[in-house]
Amino acid sequence: MALTSGSPPGVGPYYENHGYQSEHFYPPRPPVAPNGHNLYPVQYYPSPVPQYAPRVTTQVSTPAVHTRRRSSGTPCTSNSKAKSLCVALALGTVLVGAAVAVVLLWRFLPGDSKCSTSEMECGSSGTCISSSLWCDGISHCPNEEDENRCGELVRLYGPSFTLQVYSSQRKAWYPVCQDDWNESYGRAACKEMGYKDNFYRTEGIQDIGGTSFMKLNISAGNIDLYKKLYHSDSCSSRMVVSLQCIQCGVRSVSRQSRIVGGSNASPGDWPWQVSLHVQDTHVCGGSIITPDWIVTAAHCVEEPLNKPRYWSAFAGILNQYQMYYEKRHQVAKVISHPNYDSKTKNNDIALMKLQMPLTFNDVVKPVCLPNPGMMLDPAQACWISGWGATYEKGKTSEVLNAAKVFLIESSKCNSKYMYNNLITPAMVCAGFLNGTVDSCQGDSGGPLVTLKNDIWWLIGDTSWGSGCAKALRPGVYGNVTVFTDWIYQQMKANS
């Protein structure tokens, strides 16, 4: 973690983590010079309509080896009649192939769905069904996507953890009325979001100006939670459900002043921080979000480090040398965002699932994932932490450091004087315009957190920057607020 300004400003190479440099596992890549070209996809924000993304592969499979077959001739070279026949067959094959390609493109190309606005598309077949039939208890899609993905229509909203459910009929999110709600429904909702056996509390909170709700039909019988809910314009209690699946974002200490400007952390200061090791060497940081799951950066787990057997995690330990003697937690799965771009660092986020769950205590606790609807100030105060270098091109630190930084608006960060349109909506800038405090190599994947409503929220994961602590070159972080839905989907799919 850099605390002083380095070399003169100028857009230089991205800093990435270089704590582990074994040529066998992590061969150095040629430097990538950033430029102003629009290399990333046009659409970054998640659609307001839930997207039914397929399960993301947890490892890159070994590519098939294609060998070129040797031959001394074919029937098509024997005589003129055979040649004519072969030409005709070839033309016919090309025409048929073109027709099939057109049909496949029409049916499966994303973005231009052939379904009307009142219909939803079955992802596997392209079949269109009425929105009113989605999650109605009867399968209409060939692979039953309309029923077995109903859990992706549940979310938590805002800093008060308001439970919202997506109405397929009205194509909008609505809060759940507190009427007839109890803990068993709260547990069911947490499972729908991928929290497996995690549940903390559910309670009613005052509804502010709402006129439409999702309401429980308690006579619906023993069926899925989503199928028990129906749209209603009334809620007799005027209270809506607040749900926390896990107690997160709480520290055992409150010594914020100690870390302003950057300093060594004390036990319990940042209990969600983990050190991710490859062969007993710190490589990246990460953030605990559940006993089983850690958020880190996708660039940390690029091939060949995408295999979970290389990785182990250490939690609740501040000094790197102590990690040789403390319990390590082996990684079971590595899941990188499917749209991660290694050149632009767009969508730079990944998940790790541990083989055995963590035990929470005063120095090991989860941070809260940001809920949609959270409002942050343009210059929101945040904190970064990690074992990264304390100056540009320096060695990783033996002790955990932390520092206070401030969010920088993307419009300002994208100016020609700073990163010249390299910042996408899947990224967020934080730091100081004059440098002085910044993330650095070795901090990659670690947390950018903020305190709101007395709760600590994971706003970003350390991604890239031009040098360390340079003026007009702040740190760039993966915008976790964009990825919350994707995280829930992966937690549920890999529970």
> What is the mean predicted confidence (pLDDT) over 407-412?
96
Confidence check: pLDDT of 414 > 70: yes
- 141 or 275: which leads in pLDDT: 275
Active site residue 66: no
Domain 1-20+248-495 has CATH 2.40.10.10: yes
Residues of the chain with CATH 2.40.10.10: 1-20+248-495
> What is the mean predicted confidence (pLDDT) over 423-451?
95
pLDDT tens by residue, 233-266: 999 999 999 999 999 999 976 554 333 345 788 8
Question: What is the rounded CA–CA span in Å between residue 177 and residue 202?
Answer: 12
- Secondary-structure percent of the chain, ordered helix, strand, coil, rounded to 5: 20, 25, 55
In the set 146, 348, 438, 443, the catalytic residue is 348
Can you give the pLDDT at residue 196? Answer: 85
Residues of the chain with CATH 3.10.250.10: 149-193+201-244
Q: Report whether 276 contacts 296 (CB < 8 A).
A: yes
What confidence tier does 136 reach under pLDDT thresholds 50, 70, 90?
low
Active site residue 411: no
Confidence check: pLDDT of 35 > 60: no
308 residue type, one letter: P
Q: Residues, the chain, total?
A: 495
Question: What is the rounded CA–CA span in Å between residue 194 and residue 198?
Answer: 9
pLDDT tens by residue, 170-214: 888 999 999 999 999 999 999 989 998 899 999 999 987 778 999
Can you give the pLDDT at residue 135? Answer: 54
pLDDT tens by residue, 280-299: 999 999 999 999 999 999 99
In the set 131, 146, 282, 299, the catalytic residue is 299
410 residue type, one letter: S
Which range scores top for mean pLDDT: 48-62, 110-124, 261-275? 261-275
Confidence check: pLDDT of 471 > 90: yes
- Could you tell me the end-to-end alpha-carbon distance of the chain, in angstroms, rounded to an integer? 34
Q: Report whether 367 contacts 422 (CB < 8 A).
A: no
Please indicate, yes or no, whether the overall pTM of this predicted structure exceeds 0.75: no
| Phi, then psi, of 285 in degrees rounded to 5 | -100, 175
pLDDT tens by residue, 382-403: 999 999 998 888 888 999 999 9
Can you give the pLDDT at residue 17? Answer: 45
Domain 149-193+201-244: give its CATH code.
Answer: 3.10.250.10
* Residue among 191, 153, 159 nearest 172 (CA): 153
Poorest-pLDDT segment among 5-9, 330-334, 460-464, 474-478 = 5-9
Residue 353 CB: number of other CB atoms within 10 A?
20
- CA distances from residue 398 to 321, 386, 447 in whole angstroms, order as listed: 7, 10, 18
For the chain, percent of residues with pLDDT exceeding 70? 69
pLDDT tens by residue, 63-98: 333 333 333 333 444 444 444 544 454 555 555 555
SS3 465: coil
pLDDT tens by residue, 156-171: 999 999 999 988 778 8
The three-point CA angle 302-367-447 to 5° equals 45
In the set 167, 168, 242, 444, the catalytic residue is 444
Question: What is the rounded CA–CA span in Å between residue 460 and residue 151?
Answer: 25
The three-point CA angle 15-16-19 to 5° equals 120
SS3 309: helix
Q: What is the mean pLDDT of the chain?
A: 78
Strands annotated E in 123-235: 128-130, 154-157, 162-167, 172-175, 201-206, 213-216, 229-232
> What is the mean predicted confidence (pLDDT) over 93-104?
49
> What is the mean predicted confidence (pLDDT) over 349-363?
97
Active site residue 24: no
